[in-house]
Amino acid sequence: MSAFRTTEANLTRDEMAQIVAADIPAGAFVNLGIGQPTNVSNYLTAQQGVTLHTENGMLGMGPVATGEDIDPDLINAGKIPVTQLPGASFFHHADSFAMMRGGHLDVCVLGAFQISKDGDLANWHTGAEGAIPAVGGAMDLAIGAKATWVMMSLFTKNGDSKLVETLSYPVTGLGCVSRIYTEVAIFELRDAKVFVRSTHGISFEELAAKVPVELTRI
């Protein structure tokens, strides 16, 4: 396990994506959630040999399609036209979610509204009155992969920590998150503890003062 490290500036979104990409094991099968996690694919190297899964029914997904490569029958889970790589495969939805639920995917990277110290994830519904709920594959993704990682900003617009003791937003999955990448720190959740792997533009002590859960320096 690498030693605790700290850098002077906050991580940019691209730097976060770059770090997540570097953490993905070689040869892994990976699902990147809609939004910020999709950016991770820009930093995966050919040497890593990572295969991307999109839950609407494809393994071996390539980059976003442009120009003449756009095919309305070839889209990702965000309904964006994509390309297929050599060795790609197509399958129906029950198989696609069996890959997830059955623990065949190595890593899934998601966004989040909140995460509890126990790794409970909230990312599907704010619970706001009048909001139309939509869940999609969020609950399947949360609990399905061997490792579920989250990318998010650590604080809300009001400055509240999204890493909390217990969730106030509706649950997506219980005890499923093992790693959290934020602009100010990277966390690892294991052995019923929240470890801080690194801080960025903030000291460990400042971080510990702002986050309402007990933190342990790696």
* Active site residues per annotation: 55
Instruction: Give the shortest CB-93-to-other proteins separation in angstroms.
Output: 4
Task: Using the minimum distance from each CB to other proteins, give the nearer residue, 144 or 199.
Answer: 144
Interface map 75-114 toward other proteins (x if CB under 8 A): xx--x----x-----xxxxx-xxx-xx-------------
| 128 contacts other proteins (rule: CB under 8 A) | no
| 41 contacts other proteins (rule: CB under 8 A) | no
Residue 29 in 3-state DSSP? strand
Task: Using the minimum distance from each CB to other proteins, give the nearer residue, 18 or 56.
Answer: 56
Residue 30 phi/psi, 5-degree rounding, is -135, 140
Instruction: Give the shortest CB-160-to-other proteins separation in angstroms.
Output: 22
Decide: 205 and 152 in contact? Cβ < 8 Å.
no
Residue 17 in 3-state DSSP? helix
Residue 123 phi/psi, 5-degree rounding, is -150, 10
Taking alpha carbons only, the member of 131, 152, 139, 195 closest to residue 35 is: 152
The tokens describing 149, both together, are 């990682």
Q: Give contact residues for other proteins (rule: CB under 8 A).
A: 54-58, 71-76, 79, 84, 90-94, 96-98, 100-101, 125, 130, 132-140, 143-144, 170-174
